[in-house]
Amino acid sequence: MASSDDEADVGPQSVSNYYFVDDEDAPTSFSVLPLQWSKSESVNEKKKQQMFLHGSVDNGLQTIHKEVTAWKFDLLNEIPDISVLTKENNWIKLEKPRKSFEEIIRTVLITVHCLHFARRNPEASGKSVWDHLCKVFSLYDVRPSLNDLVDHMALISEAVRRDDWLAKSKFLLAFLEEKPRKRKLSDEDVKATTVSAFIVDNVDDDILEDAVEDESDEVDELFDSVCAICDNGGALLCCEGSCMRSFHPTRLDGEESNCDTLGFTRREVDAIERFLCKNCEYNQHQCFACGELGYSNKSSGAEVFRCANATCGHFYHSHCIAKLLHQEDEVAVGELEKKVATGESFTCPIHKCYICKKGENKKIKELQFAVCRRCPTSYHRKCLPKEIVFEKKEEEEEEEEEEGKGGGGGGEEEEEETAAARAWEGLLPNRVLIYCLKHEIIDDLGTPSRDIRFPNVEEKKKKRILELPGSSGKLLPKKRRLTSEDSFSAKTVAKELNGSYSGVTKIASIKRSEKISSGSDLLRKVKTNDAFRKSLKENTKSCSTDVDRSATTTINKTSLGDRLYRVMTKRSEQVKLQKQVLHSSELNKTMTVKTSARKLSNELPSLDAETEKRILALIKEAASSITMDDVKKKHKVPSTHAYSSKTVVDKTITTGKVEGAVEAVRTALRKLEDGCSTEDAKAVCEPEVLNQVFKWKNKLRVYLAPFLYGMRYTSFGRHFTKVEKLKEIVNVLHWYVQDGDMVVDFCCGANDFSCLMKKKLEETGKKCSYKNYDVFQPKNDFNFEKRDWMTVQPDELPKRGSQLIMGLNPPFGVKAALANKFIDKALEFKPKLLILIVPPETERLDKKRTPYDLVWEDDQFLSGKSFYLPGSVDENDKQMEQWNVTAPLLYLWSRPDWSVKHKAIAQKHDHLFMRRGGSNLEKSCHDSKSPDHPVEVHCCNPGTSEVTDDLYMESKEPNHEIALIGGRKECSPHENGDKESQDSHGLERNRSEETSRKTKHIEDKIGRGTGEKLPKNKWKGGKPSGSDTNKEVPHRSPTNVVDGRTSQEGPPSRSLETPMHTKVGENSLPNLESGMPSSHLPYGTAYGGSMSYVHEDVGSKYSMNGMEYSHGIHGFPHANLEEQSTGNMREIAEDIGYRSYVTGLERGSDMRSQVRFYGQDVDYSVQRNYLGGLEPGYGQMGPLSSIPYGHVGAAVESSYRMNMPAMQRYAPRLDELNHTRMNNFGSDPSMLNRNNIIYDSRAPRPGPPGGHVDSMGFAPGPQYPYPHSSAGWLNE
Amino acid sequence: MESTAEAKYAAFEEKVKRTIFVDNLSPQVTETVLAKALNQFGTVVSASLIPNYLETGNILCALVEMEDSEKANKVISSITEFPFLIAGMPRPVRARFAEVEMFDDRPVKPGRRVRCSWLDPSDPDFEVAKKLKRLTRKHAAEASFLLKQQLDREEKLHKQQVENLKANFKKYEMIVGVLSDKTVQSLAGHYGMRVSDDL
């Protein structure tokens, strides 16, 4: 079998950082080279393809560039050696590949390692083999798997045949016995499955996994994921245009199905940002009926028209489609033709079954379509003619796993010579891919003739297609049989097919695989001669020498080539070589350059062409040495941001698809309105499309966030809790800390928390240790470790969980996704206490797998300006402060076995009281305020036209309340005594009832009357958080509520609106000053907002504030767009938003409430704007009447954004709390986004998963008459 | 006299060590902005923009003095590791250690004396001086050429990104358009399906 070096030591012995390229400069695996099995058996086969080895030798001191002709491996040593034979007959051992090249040779490396291991451990089971391989290839992104071996079945079987030791390996024998086929997966799937198969030893992967899975379930369930040319899956490039097609971009990708492909090189593909196929580029599309190209530009004399279906993307001549749709009726044909020609939309026959003329229903298998890829014909599965044969049953299974239907099709043929397979499962999503009986299947393609035409290359293409079958058709079937008997994988089959296409048909009939491949080598060589010459020339050019063409030709080509190669690889020699090559004329030229350079004036000398070229060459070289992978490696992304949705957004959500979908939705609705049947509408726009639209929107929204809100984020998008706030937290927390505990801050930010804790604890005589983690360097190094929290393992901390106290402020993420991750990670350590600042939508710890008990929570503590943006300044060079529109909560969670103790502490030190202090104060001024609230709520209802949604909402919220009250009631005996338990009881109760409540909210609504009574007494029980006050206020006037509801159902009444608004506007000003709890206003304001929303639908465009830069770091915010979207808002913002809250601030006297109102003002100003809109006479707001709510909202933000250039991710967070919560709310299926705007207020927190106290902030107001028994706990 | 100069120079060298050179700043960045931005990694002693006499370009660079060299090191690694944007500018900032030559107010190296004099064209040093002058100019020209190339590339990349962004934004607008005029919702109503805006 393999041998050691048999050549004299000429040249380098080993090479590292290597990679191989073929004559097209595309990276290739050396495994396509012939394999030399033993010394004696020299490689006498002709190579099919030129291949060059690049790499560094002499420990990286030199680089080489050599043509290689063969490879071999040696399994005898400790680790397997792989060597390649250079053209000079010199074996070079391969050390470590270049990182970016690993992926390309992974299969062969894994195979060789597998052989190596199997040889040494013949008894080894499959599991130990894979364990070993996973260890060896631990750095690979994707775990080694059977798929990697499948590619090299031939190699393995040959190795087993030749090596007795290997022949003993149970694993290999079993493997060969099995004859596994490669799983058929599109590339997204591959990612998802392989990643999810990961051993979760690395959190990065874990997170990535989530992200990827998240992606893949979304990835185009609706659109074809097969190549438009060859109808096979694999790595595809999606056209951005309206054709919605995908193509195999490179020859390699299309190899197995003999796809013509787009003929790009891998590098070209990578460089393409937005691919537009030639058809879409030139607006010339093929008619799917007649196949002719026609102009499709609707604005200038279109000949072909696109089917209106959202996912179709086929074009038709008006007469073709008319004929298709009305086959007999000539009058109708004429009419339709005219209509279509004038732009009327139509749906092509694909969307109705050819037999029964009914539409598709993807949810029912029998009603799924089988769609012909060559003409507009579809059948239901149940209607599919018998003649259209599927592949045989056993094959069908593997069809899904098999990479190519090309190979599978071949397999089919051999067993059933009579009928070629015409139908395939698993290629189209929820559909069957067929070729209907009109099309003759060409044997060696496995498909009918492929007639995709592009505008300018059509002639050439067509010819090629015609030629292909003729040249090698006859011999192919035989060969196929052979190969499949040899149990080759689909892929190798495909490869060989390809080889034979190039003409090696005779050799192809030889049985042994290596001979076949060598055969194909032969003919490759013919081609390569040219290619070689070509590459020579290119090299000459690229060398930046000014060598004259004529000079080049006079010099012997090869020798020049060799020299030039050296030039390429060795920069140091370049100049010298240049000189050698340079002719006297060139020398003269440089001389003149020099002389001219002498006459330098004071200006900067313009560079001569020579120098410029030299610099350009340098740039080019430097650029080529940087690969994306290198950059990615260098910039470690925090694990929480490891995934970017860029590719999805760019490549999957194509403009064409979006356009198509949007158009289709419109068309479908129009059709319905015109009285068409739902069936017809569905033919235009499947219900799934609607879901897709929402999904797209969310994806895009998240992706675009930094651009829409660009200026507000610098650096790393953090927000830090203010030191004053931290001090307060520390003051509370230190009671719970015991001597010897360890305080861990998993996202320490400025690292103040630990320092403050230390100070405080030392004051109180407790000695503790501290540990602080963050991915960013803090200003203060106190016990800091620069680590990604997700990578910290529990055993790394010196203390056990019962001595751990963890906190504090994790990054939030979209819908608290990041916060949840951080918390989950923290829970792995089983800390006895967790102190958390997290958004309300964070999953509560009592809902975790290992539930924690809530000691206390506070939703008011962090409202207002509790945060600041590190590294950012406002226009006065002051540190920017920050508030959250919806304040995050401060929680203290306890491990269950410590709960009793901690709760005792909480009680002892009256932490519950402390937390409410602020709100009690505020309470006192309620009485005067409360009348406003019903009014506000009231006025909102007419404004929102989504009657049903609102109803739903409204009725849901009160139910919450009821449930909670129920919980309270039970606890009430304890009254103030045991608030914690009360709290949690109530909450749990609330939770448990939540589901049932949701379903029967209507009934609940009816039963509201009783529900309303319930709370009265119970409120006294002491709602633990300050937000109660809010709830109580509106209780007063139940009748109004009812009014509100009824008016909701009716048409919006203006007369109601205006006065109320004024009222709200005016009244709430005093509210501000007198220190009303924050959540009051937002009710009104939010509703106001929603009203304006109704007026201006545009508003929703801007309602996307609530997004997170999940890919923040990847983002490259661009000012232009930002300007475009927010430009006009800024002015407004300056005028109103900013100023108005500045004044609000000034007015406040009580620090605490002031802080709160500050945040509130955002909404407030919005409302004012709106008021202005309604009543032009209303102060200076008048001119703004046309500003939609969202707009203003954004403007308000942009106002501070403007002033503080270095705004941050967390600024969006402010309104994000707002808006994302809206989104959460949206999870309630009937809840649409714009309704959520209604919730766009800070205090009410209707987080769906929460169902916690705060979630009732909003609704209970109107629902429950509450006779101000607030005194009940004012006294407390 | 001599000793104070030396001490002064030593102090200056210390300063150099704890100073970082920040490059690729957007023109909107001011010294305060910069200082604040870097203050999150460690105490910034001072930050000063370096005036650029050669180029009229819009890229600023600055020297930021940190409390100690260790911090400076950490700042550099932070900035290098994560793309660091100051003032929300699309250009990630670069940072490296400052060098003595970057300070325009650097004290004279003790023991070094600079003497200026006019050279007579006949002086043998005249040619040498001229050569040096030319070389300097050439280097400047080369540097500016290089910078231009680089900026061109950046511009190209930028354009590409803008284009992508616009395309994505367009998609978004289209979708939002069809959502906000409730076409989707009412169609969903017709289909009797419940659509959710939440993933």
CA proximity to A35, closest of A77, A2, A67: A2
Residue A39 has a pLDDT of 65
Residue A1019 has a pLDDT of 36
Mean pLDDT value of segment A710-738 = 74
Chain A neighbors of B196, CB-CB under 8 A: 694, 1226-1229, 1231
Residue A1119 has a pLDDT of 34
Name the amino acid, one letter, at A180.
Answer: P
d(CA A455, CA A461): 10
In percent, how much of chain A has pLDDT > 70?
47
Chain A neighbors of B155, CB-CB under 8 A: none
d(CA A764, CA A300): 82
d(CA B130, CA B54): 20
Q: Which among A606, A776, A1230 has the least Cβ separation from residue B78? A: A776
Chain B neighbors of A870, CB-CB under 8 A: 39-40
At B48, which helix (H) or strand (E)?
A: strand B44-50
Residue A604 has a pLDDT of 55
**CA distances in angstroms from A366 to A376, A444, A1031, listed in the order given:** 20, 31, 53
Residue A813, pLDDT above cutoff 50? yes
Residue A44 has a pLDDT of 53
Name residues whose C-beta falls within 8 Å of residue A776's C-beta, 6 or more positions apart in sequence.
A716, A718, A786, B40, B41, B78, B82
- Residue B163 forms contact with A (CB below 8 Å): yes
Mean pLDDT value of segment A170-195 = 52
Q: Are B177 and A604 in contact (CB < 8 Å)?
A: no
Residue A871 has a pLDDT of 63
Rounded to the nearest 5 degrees, what angle is found at the Cα of A1108, between the Cα atoms of A1107 and A1114? Answer: 130
Residue A643 has a pLDDT of 57
Integer Rg of chain B from CA:
27
Residue B88, pLDDT above cutoff 80? no
Chain B neighbors of A600, CB-CB under 8 A: 133-134, 137
Mean pLDDT value of segment A1213-1226 = 33
Mutate to test the interface with A, among B136, B169, B187, B194 (most CBs of A within 10 A): B187
Of chain B, the end-to-end C-alpha distance in Å amounts to 74
Chain A neighbors of B159, CB-CB under 8 A: none
User: What confidence tens digit (pLDDT) does each residue in A518-538 have?
Assistant: 333 333 333 434 444 444 444
Question: How many Å lie between the alpha carbon of A679 and the closest alpha carbon of chain B?
Answer: 9
- Top-ranked range on mean pLDDT: pick from A205-219, A1131-1145, B77-91: B77-91
Query: What are the tokens at A291?
Result: 């196949």
Confidence of residue B36 (pLDDT cuts 50, 70, 90): confident
Q: Are B168 and A649 in contact (CB < 8 Å)?
A: yes
Question: How many Å lie between the alpha carbon of B22 and the closest alpha carbon of chain A?
Answer: 14
Confidence of residue A91 (pLDDT cuts 50, 70, 90): confident
Mutate to test the interface with B, among A669, A881, A1124 (most CBs of B within 10 A): A669
d(CA A923, CA A928): 10
The sign one gets for the Cα dihedral A568, A573, A575, A579 is: negative
The full set of domain ranges for chain B reads 2-102, 119-199
Name the amino acid, one letter, at A144.
Answer: P
User: What confidence tens digit (pLDDT) does each residue in A557-604 have?
Assistant: 444 444 544 544 444 444 444 444 444 344 444 444 444 444 444 455
A279 or A1083, greater pLDDT: A279
- Residue B159 forms contact with A (CB below 8 Å): no
Q: Are A779 and B39 in contact (CB < 8 Å)?
A: yes
Q: Are B197 and A776 in contact (CB < 8 Å)?
A: no
d(CA A1271, CA A906): 23
Question: How many Å lie between the alpha carbon of A665 and the closest alpha carbon of chain B?
Answer: 6
Residue A356, φ and ψ in degrees, nearest 5: -100, -5
- Residue B27 forms contact with A (CB below 8 Å): no
How do A864-873 and A879-884 pair as beta strands? antiparallel
- Top-ranked range on mean pLDDT: pick from A634-638, A734-738, A1127-1131, B30-34: A734-738
Confidence of residue A545 (pLDDT cuts 50, 70, 90): very low
ipTM of this complex: 0.74
For A677, nearest residue in chain B (alpha carbons): B190
Give the CA-trace dihedral at A721, A726, A728, A730, to 10 degrees. 150
Chain B neighbors of A1207, CB-CB under 8 A: 88
Mutate to test the interface with A, among B147, B184, B194 (most CBs of A within 10 A): B184
In percent, how much of chain A has pLDDT > 90?
0
Reported residue count of chain A is: 1276
A1245 or A250, greater pLDDT: A250
Question: How many Å lie between the alpha carbon of B37 and the closest alpha carbon of chain A?
Answer: 4
Chain B neighbors of A879, CB-CB under 8 A: 36
Mean pLDDT over each residue of chain A, to the nearest integer: 60
Residue A516, pLDDT above cutoff 60? no
- Residue B41 forms contact with A (CB below 8 Å): yes
User: What confidence tens digit (pLDDT) does each residue in A1153-1179 have?
Assistant: 333 333 333 333 333 333 333 333 333
Mean pLDDT value of segment B59-82 = 85
At A1205, which helix (H) or strand (E)?
A: none
Residue A756, pLDDT above cutoff 80? yes
Residue B70, pLDDT above cutoff 70? yes
- Measured in whole angstroms, how far is the alpha carbon of residue A972 from the centre of its chain? 48
Residue A1147, pLDDT above cutoff 50? no
B2-102: CATH topology is Alpha-Beta Plaits (3.30.70)
Query: What are the tokens at A1187?
Result: 């500003």
Residue A1137, pLDDT above cutoff 60? no
Q: Are B187 and A669 in contact (CB < 8 Å)?
A: yes
Q: Are A672 and B74 in contact (CB < 8 Å)?
A: no
Residue B73, pLDDT above cutoff 60? yes
Mean pLDDT value of segment A675-683 = 80
Q: Which among A600, A666, A779 has the least Cβ separation from residue B137? A: A600
User: What confidence tens digit (pLDDT) does each residue in A254-265 have?
Assistant: 877 788 888 888
d(CA A429, CA A323): 29
Query: What are the tokens at A714?
Result: 């610098």
Confidence of residue A689 (pLDDT cuts 50, 70, 90): confident
Residue burial A896-915, b: 16+ Cβ < 10 Å; e: rest: eebbeebbebbbeeebbbbb
Confidence of residue A466 (pLDDT cuts 50, 70, 90): very low
Give the up-direction half-sphere exposure of residue A1082: CA atoms within 13 A in the CB hemisphere: 31
Question: How many Å lie between the alpha carbon of A1071 and the closest alpha carbon of chain B?
Answer: 34
- Residue B191 forms contact with A (CB below 8 Å): yes
In SS3 terms, A437-449 reads as CCCCEECCCCEEC
Cβ–Cβ under 8 Å, residues A389 and A424:
no
User: What confidence tens digit (pLDDT) does each residue in A353-363 have?
Assistant: 888 888 888 78
Query: What are the tokens at A880?
Result: 């920017």
- Residue B170 forms contact with A (CB below 8 Å): yes
**CA distances in angstroms from A1203 to A873, A1118, A1199, B59, B105, listed in the order given:** 8, 18, 7, 22, 33
Mutate to test the interface with A, among B152, B178, B181, B193 (most CBs of A within 10 A): B178
Mean pLDDT value of segment A146-158 = 78
Confidence of residue B90 (pLDDT cuts 50, 70, 90): low
Cβ–Cβ under 8 Å, residues A299 and A291:
no
Residue A633 has a pLDDT of 72
Chain A neighbors of B180, CB-CB under 8 A: 1097-1101, 1234
Residue A1218 has a pLDDT of 34
Cβ–Cβ under 8 Å, residues A890 and A835:
yes
Chain B neighbors of A658, CB-CB under 8 A: 171, 174-175
Residue B29, pLDDT above cutoff 60? yes
Q: A174: exposed, middle or buried (C-beta count within 10 Å: 0-12, 13-18, 19+)? A: exposed
User: What confidence tens digit (pLDDT) does each residue in B178-199 have?
Assistant: 888 877 788 888 777 776 654 4
Q: Which among A715, A1097, A1116 has the least Cβ separation from residue B90? A: A1116
Name residues whose C-beta falls within 8 Å of residue A277's C-beta, 6 or more positions apart in sequence.
A239, A241, A243, A245, A247, A262, A454
Confidence of residue A515 (pLDDT cuts 50, 70, 90): very low
Residue B106, pLDDT above cutoff 60? yes
Q: Which of A51-65, A703-717, A858-872, A1047-1061 has the lowest mean pLDDT?
A: A1047-1061
d(CA A1119, CA A707): 7
Residue A1258 has a pLDDT of 35
B93 or A1206, greater pLDDT: B93
DSSP state of A652: I
Query: What are the tokens at A179?
Result: 């004859």
Residue A405, pLDDT above cutoff 60? no
Residue A1015 has a pLDDT of 36
d(CA A472, CA A504): 9
CA proximity to A156, closest of A115, A126, A117, A127: A115
Residue A1126, pLDDT above cutoff 50? no
d(CA A968, CA A1140): 40
For A1101, nearest residue in chain B (alpha carbons): B176
Question: How many Å lie between the alpha carbon of A204 and the closest alpha carbon of chain B?
Answer: 16
Residue A63 has a pLDDT of 78
Mean pLDDT value of segment A207-213 = 38
Mean pLDDT value of segment A489-517 = 37
d(CA A1128, CA A584): 65
Q: Which of A452-456, A482-486, A657-661 has the lowest mean pLDDT?
A: A482-486
d(CA A1082, CA A940): 12
Query: What are the tokens at A752?
Result: 């103040």
Confidence of residue A30 (pLDDT cuts 50, 70, 90): confident
Q: Are B145 and A615 in contact (CB < 8 Å)?
A: yes
Question: How many Å lie between the alpha carbon of A404 and the closest alpha carbon of chain B?
Answer: 33
Residue A1038 has a pLDDT of 36
Q: Are A690 and B195 in contact (CB < 8 Å)?
A: yes
Residue A648 has a pLDDT of 66
DSSP state of A27: B
Q: Are A710 and B164 in contact (CB < 8 Å)?
A: no
Is the peptide bond prior to A808 cis by the omega test (within 30 degrees of 0)?
yes
Name residues whose C-beta falls within 8 Å of residue B56's C-beta, 6 or more positions apart in sequence.
none
Q: Is B94 helix (H, G, I), strand (E, B) or coil?
A: strand
Chain B neighbors of A634, CB-CB under 8 A: 80-81
